[in-house]
Amino acid sequence: MTLLHAATWQGTLYSSGWTEATGGTGAVRSPATGEEIGRVGVANADDVARACGRAAEAQRAWAATSYPERAAVLRRAGQLFAQHAAEIGDWLVREAGSIPPKAAVETDTAAQECYEAAALTSHPLGEIVPSAQPRLSLARRLPVGVVGVIAPFNFPLVLAIRSVAPALALGNAVVLKPDARTAVSGGVSIARVFEEAGLPEGLLHVLPGGVDAGAALVADPHVRVISFTGSTAAGRRVGEAAARHLKRAHLELGGNSALIVLDDADLELAASAGAWGSFLHQGQICMTTGRHLVHESLAERYVQRLAEKADHLPVGDPAKEQVALGPIIDEHQRDKIQSLVTASVDAGARLAAGGTYDGLFYRPTVLADVTPTTPAYAQEVFGPVAPVLAFSDLDEAAALAGRTEYGLSLGILSRDVMKAMALAERIPSGIVHINDQTVSDEAVAPFGGVGASGTGSRFGGPAANVEAFTETQWLTVRGDISRYPF
């Protein structure tokens, strides 16, 4: 069976079935070739309003459905992601510019997210609270109702399903707005999986669209929680809009994560880890290693090793050849990368590797002799750029790593694990990896950043998901009506 046969979804939205979009249709294009590889419905504010209303109606019955039934749907969804991994992965390669191993990580993680969500349905959802009065006092968690999910282009499947699956498992309905540039791999594939898994109609709506659709989703009165993954600038706007409507917004935003290489680290392993952290998926990952802080005794040799690796990494169309890096998502992002690299060189940085592009294929780039104010070091690049800065001691390393508005992921490489852990305690970060680079995620692990990287861990693991997608209600029960003096 073909899950993503175009005849099923071409030119439509998934909203109580496959329907025409009031906002018309839009092309899905391959960033590697520029060719149109599909068309999807494009939602406007009217489409969002209808979807949210239908979701609110369907949610009540779903919340009353037994947990084994909800779990069965999630398990079937996980099995379908595994069964159709090659087909979905092909879309991730062509539509998102992913290399096949990265696409495989996404499909495998999507299946795991569904399996973990299935287990979440039977997770304890409350506690007995002491009371000074003769009554049973409970704090219980109830579904919020309708969850709005806004997901980005870079890991389109994972960054959508990690909210969609647990929200559904906990008895909510979901309205998902995937990035229009990856609407099939990050939206249509999820709709088709849950359609085939037997999710009742009206509980999941997939609405690719622009800023107007996102604004309508945040403002809609039926939506009580917004789960947003994207840039810090956009996240600030989403958070402000949600606050005006007195609803919660869980924000997973940008980063400029540091990889600290201490003086006792294995140089070859460190350079390999650094290359992976900066160049995986063309650096288009929130956790990408954006700053390489290397002890001065190793810095020059580290730059040389990292530049050698960059020079030998093949760049090209991952749908046609075996490459390490695919295309940047679009010209706007490519031009941003190039402007930061150019400005950094103009400011005195040395281009040790890369710094050139052909179309949307940007060479992995290494910058040496940078300072804390070098543009590609100080700002989130979201591209395959590795700025290297030397430090002299642990105090300087901690100060440099912490000198940023972001706080998403941190890697520290050292043979002395306890020294590395002590250093990590001095640097604000939502995620810390000792003897690993900064890019890592698992369905069972809490995920989230601090500062400009977001509002903390609202993804991964039962505690984070229950907190994200339920409300707390205090409930008391007495055997008889209490007597009062009035």
Strands (E) located in 321-465 = 350-353, 357-358, 361-362, 365-368, 385-391, 406-407, 409-413, 431-434, 450-451
Q: Which are the catalytic amino acids?
A: 252, 286
Pair 302, 292: CB distance under 8 Å: yes
Q: Which two tokens stand for residue 36?
A: 């149109």
Please return the burial class of 124, using the count of CB atoms within 10 Å of its CB with bins 0-12, 13-18 and 19+. exposed
Query: Would you call 7 exposed, middle or buried from its count of C-beta atoms within 10 A (0-12, 13-18, 19+)?
Result: exposed
How far apart are the C-alpha atoms of 475 and 139, rounded to whole Å?
6
Strand boundaries in 342-452, DSSP class E: 350-353, 357-358, 361-362, 365-368, 385-391, 406-407, 409-413, 431-434, 450-451
Strands 450-451 and 406-407: antiparallel
Q: Token match 């504010």: residue?
A: 45
Q: Which residues pair with 470 in a beta bridge?
A: 143
Rounded CA-CA distance 131/360 in Å is 63
Q: Which amino acid is at 206?
A: V
| Residue of 418, 392, 391, 459 lying closest to 147 (CA atoms) | 459
Maximum pairwise Cα distance, the chain: 84
Q: Which residues are 93's β-sheet partners?
A: none
